[in-house]
Structure 1
Amino acid sequence: MPEIILSTLNAKHIHASLGLRYLYANLDELQPRAAIREFTIEPWPIDVAEQLLAEQPRIIGLGVYIWNVERTQQLVTLLKQISPQTLIILGGPEVSHEWQGQPLVEQSDYLITGQGDLAFAQLCRQLLQGERPIQKVIEAPPPPLDALQLPYAHYSDQDIAHRLIYVEASRGCPFKCEFCLSALDKSARPFPRERFMQALEQLYQRGVRHFKFVDRTFNLNPEQSVALLKFFLTRLDEQLFLHFEVIPDHLPERLRAVLKRFPTGSLQLEIGIQSFNPEVQKIISRKQDNDKSRANLHWLRTETQAHLHADLIIGLPGEDMHSFADSFDRLVALAPHEIQVGILKRLKGSPIIRHSEPFRMRYNPAAPYNILCTDRIDFPTMQRLNRFARYWEMIANSGRFPQTLPLLLGEQPFKRFMQLSDWLFANTGQVHRIALKRLFELLYTGSVESLEIDPAAARQTLESDFSRSGIKGRPTFSQPVSPSDADTADRTVRLSTRQARHR
């Protein structure tokens, strides 16, 4: 029976917690007395409590994040009711800042704020020796990276076979974008390269082929970036897939030369644009050369085979609907493979809070603390934008409508997709759980009625996409009809469109 259990509630089973494995790796002599037990947010907290307490641990360490804070609160309440003698230690970004008054913290025994890789082990030593530190909240400074034991050996064979494997070549970020907790970092610090490369080699030899780097600024240090990319080029096979988050305006020639060598399907780059508005960038302390960013995105799209995932944020201070639409249209014109339309969230501790009153920014008080309205975007409009983001994910980012999407967007992507989004919600009242076949049928009717697309053109592109979807049967707009019936149907659609415009 382990005396220490390290646990968290992951968003999905496919995610394997890198943080828990860092804590476990750095327990040193306590490691044989500890175990990792991961769950997801799906099970009832009472069932998780039963499994944790069945092993009769003396200490339970819980990682708290924005996606699991509410479930973790319920879990801790149950644990302390059932087994008050079990010591609960909290850590993680959701409780590292603004923890005062959080019921979750009040019910727990100890809280480690910051990077607890070494502090957790030290606290456990004291507790297992019978010492009870008076100080409940322990502030852990960033540990020297060369003093840490790396966690990668603690990914199990089952993890490697079935879950995402997260790695980090560096910690921290030198930039001060105020919507991000990394704005609190003083700099980015690389792990010792030789040790990290050895760890990557061991993972590779164990069969890992999907590496998701969590570094905030992978291409900040081109020398290290090139070394890592060359490491993988020498081990390239059909299964290898790498994910990196990159700075959009920093792409030196030696890095470009290596990026061009990766074949299709092996490399994904996440590119944070957030906004192309210079005034908004200034307000949130974001340093970004927009001309270089656009040029680099264009180069990556045309000169490499990398899959490009670009990010925009709705609700930034100083940004109105027109400004966001302009950024969206500029980004669509650069043709990244995906555009992640995110809603601003007020992460605990992030400097964005200083703009709350000047820009009348109001946030959801419950996780994930999403923006509800600002002085530029009222609540009903923000709701429309939320639906826009959801439908964009469903239609554009799904990759299921490659032929139809250009027809939908035309020359005014934001305006037209917002128009379609409004139509979809008005006619379905849904932003989730729309069956794929029904979505095809809705897009046909919506594109004709809302966007006034020629019915024959809409039918042609949707049939082309449908044939690739693997769905059995045929959508209603594709059912064989006689020429006279087809002409009648098209006249009916045109009449319906005119009536809709009149209404």
Structure 2
Amino acid sequence: MNVVLATLNAKYIHTSLAIHYLKAFCKDEFPIELAEFTIKDPAMNIVSDLYSRKPDVIGFSCYIWNIEETITVIDMLRKVLPDVKIVLGGPEVSYDTDHWMDRLKDVDFIIMGEGEETFRDLLRQIASGDNKYHFVFGLAYRKNGQAVINPGRPKLDLNDIPSPYRFAEDIPSLPNRVVYFETSRGCPFSCQFCLSSIEVGVRYFDIEWVKAELTYLIDNGAKLIKFVDRTFNIKREYAMEVFQFLIDNHRGCVFQFEITADIMRPEVLDFLSEHAPPGVFRFEIGVQSTNDPTNLAVQRRQNFAKLSRTVNKVKSSLKIDQHLDLIAGLPHEDYDTFRRTFNEVFALRPEELQLGFLKMLRGTGLRRDADKYGYIYMDRAPYEMLGNDLMPFSDIVRIKRLEDVLEKYWNSHRMDRTMEYLIGSAYPSPFDFFQKFGDYWESKGWSRIGHQLEDLFTRLWSFLQEDAAEGLDMDVAFGLLKIDYYLQHKYKPRKTWWEDRLDKKEWTTGLKWAAERLGMDERELNKKAVLDRLPFDYGAFLADGRPDRTGGGSALLVLYSGEDAPPQLTAMPIPDSWVTEPDASSPSKSF
């Protein structure tokens, strides 16, 4: 019997842990091929590949991000492989299973919930020809044209599951893909918007097994391992042992964890602050909302003061990047309340702030209570909310504009100095800046066209010129944009996006002056350096983050060494030969 397990990942760099588990659990009885695609792959290409494998049984791992694309593939497969047994599994079809059996007539079986034992038992029934599917707990099947949904299956002992990581064919791709890894299953919390709240209790894999599997992955070249545990730090001793093991054995691999920040103990924070290697750990923290009535409505316990303490402590160590999550559209949160949530979380200055929109997932309590809050939402995946009693669709649309520029300008870290100035000094709050800029971006039609690096700078500059915010110093903003632009290049840029540059005389005298001060060869400096002027004292700016204009400005030397080394910035007093009368026609002329 030829069995193929397939899935459509969101991106090429992702891998499907689920189908690897199924293959590992069944491998002693049934040889299984794995076939991973992406949601961007043409359906014809996917079907052609699967058809060439001549499967007797084909299974698909289904999630909100791939279910509709998977259905298209299934419709085509059934036409070209009329006798193949089609099996679905995964969180998207594990709830409202009767709906899926009714909608997808081409599907023979659906596995609900944890699938290792269920899938193996199903294959045994198909291979034997007995077809006694009523004996397979956790399975939905068809009998005489009618859908039959069996009772659920007791949870597995995790120590009975073979390793999903030790397939020789996976080794070549380990350095180039995200490796998903779990040390536990289940979640201790009951957040009503999350599927993890449905599974009661947390089960752990044996700690020595975890260490052995991590060692194997690191030994074979894994570069990024993402732990999928819903709350990695819920069991402190277990988490500490894993942290210590990775500190001792990381060999440059990066590890990402989902943590609950408000329960992180001070001794754990102190340990990480002292011992964590810089850049090796990343934390993802789901804040979602700081509004107490909202958290109460979705049964989410959260102490924002303690969460802030953890984020600030981790940030001060300068060793661990943090990714904080927010959800727009939760109950009891209108536009103004969400604005407050956004600003309170942004004040923590996470390296990344991910703004998502509530999805009414099948099986969750919030979907069952949708009418209570007046929710309207997409009928098909990803089931994103379109509005509720407090946040109409018009507000959702505006916040989406904010989210777009937040991703491009804050999370991308292309112009950190400019961003910090704008949100810290020039605008009333971070939310107000990103919202106004997002609205402007949409009004220009830029959301419907692509962009290159230079476009991000010119579009922001265009917005700042037109908006003319009361607290904005245009000369300072222009100077910071220059710095950020220079820092985005590994080699000396051939052109700049602004018109005003040093004239030939200023460049010649400035180059000679800089070469003498730095003790460098003038010709070599000319090949690798850029000279510019700033309206503020750059050295003072580096010290306290404030652009001080009282000293008459700075000359800026940007030296590029190429390869992977970042450019070096050196600030010096303005040379006498550069002093000119101010020209109000251009911001940079008043430097």
Which residue in the other structure is 1:153 paired with? Answer: 166
Unaligned runs of 5+ in 2: 135-140, 142-148, 504-579
Quote how far apart the aligned CAs of 1:257 are: 3.2
Quote how far apart the aligned CAs of 1:25 are: 0.4
Quote how far apart the aligned CAs of 1:208 are: 2.2
Q: Secondary structure at the match of 2:217?
A: helix
Which residue in the other structure is 1:204 paired with? Answer: 218
What's the TM-score once normalised by structure 1's chain length? 0.92
Task: Select which of 442, 449, 461 maps to 1:425.
Answer: 442
C-alpha change, 1:25 and 1:145, in structure 2 (3 Å) is same
8 A Cα contact 2:478 2:587, kept in partner: no
Quote how far apart the aligned CAs of 1:204 are: 2.1
For the pair 1:488 / 2:486, whether they are aligned, the reply is no
Quote how far apart the aligned CAs of 1:451 are: 4.9
| Aligned residues between the structures | 489
Quote how far apart the aligned CAs of 1:28 are: 3.9
Q: One-letter code of the match for 1:57? A: P
C-alpha change, 1:304 and 1:258, in structure 2 (3 Å) is farther
For the pair 1:62 / 2:64, whether they are aligned, the reply is no
Which residue in the other structure is 2:123 paired with? Answer: 124
Q: One-letter code of the match for 1:39? A: F
C-alpha change, 1:431 and 1:414, in structure 2 (3 Å) is farther
For the pair 1:391 / 2:405, whether they are aligned, the reply is yes
For the pair 1:298 / 2:312, whether they are aligned, the reply is yes
8 A Cα contact 1:416 1:451, kept in partner: no
In 2, the alpha carbon distance for the partners of 1:401 and 1:370 equals 31
Q: Secondary structure at the match of 1:417?
A: helix
For the pair 1:194 / 2:192, whether they are aligned, the reply is no
Q: Secondary structure at the match of 1:357?
A: helix
In 2, the alpha carbon distance for the partners of 1:479 and 1:94 equals 55
C-alpha change, 1:448 and 1:5, in structure 2 (3 Å) is same
Which residue in the other structure is 2:390 paired with? Answer: 376
Q: One-letter code of the match for 2:163? A: L
Note the 1:83-482 alignment, pairs <5 A.
83-102=81-100, 105-133=104-132, 136=141, 137-138=149-150, 139-154=152-167, 156-237=170-251, 239-260=252-273, 261-410=275-424, 411-430=428-447, 433-452=450-469, 453-470=472-489, 472-480=493-501
C-alpha change, 1:479 and 1:121, in structure 2 (3 Å) is farther
Q: Secondary structure at the match of 1:126?
A: helix
Q: One-letter code of the match for 1:281? A: N
C-alpha change, 1:372 and 1:474, in structure 2 (3 Å) is farther
Q: Which moved more, 1:7-16 or 1:195-204?
A: 195-204
Which residue in the other structure is 1:25 paired with? Answer: 24
Q: One-letter code of the match for 2:44? A: I
C-alpha change, 1:431 and 1:169, in structure 2 (3 Å) is farther
Which residue in the other structure is 1:495 paired with? Answer: none
8 A Cα contact 2:122 2:133, kept in partner: no
In 2, the alpha carbon distance for the partners of 1:30 and 1:213 equals 29
Quote how far apart the aligned CAs of 1:358 are: 2.0
8 A Cα contact 2:62 2:90, kept in partner: yes
Q: Secondary structure at the match of 2:433?
A: helix
Q: Which moved more, 1:339-348 or 1:213-222?
A: 339-348
In 2, the alpha carbon distance for the partners of 1:474 and 1:486 equals 23
Which residue in the other structure is 1:499 paired with? Answer: none
Q: Secondary structure at the match of 2:257?
A: strand
Q: Secondary structure at the match of 1:480?
A: coil
Quote how far apart the aligned CAs of 1:83 are: 1.0
Task: Select which of 49, 52, 59 maps to 2:50.
Answer: 52
Q: Secondary structure at the match of 2:116?
A: coil
Task: Determine which structure has more spread, i.e. the larger CA radius of gyration.
Answer: 2
Q: Which moved more, 1:97-106 or 1:188-197?
A: 97-106
Quote how far apart the aligned CAs of 1:429 are: 4.3
Deviations 1:219-267 (A, max 9, x none): 0001000000111111143x22110000011111332233121122111
Quote how far apart the aligned CAs of 1:348 are: 1.4
What's the TM-score once normalised by structure 2's chain length? 0.79
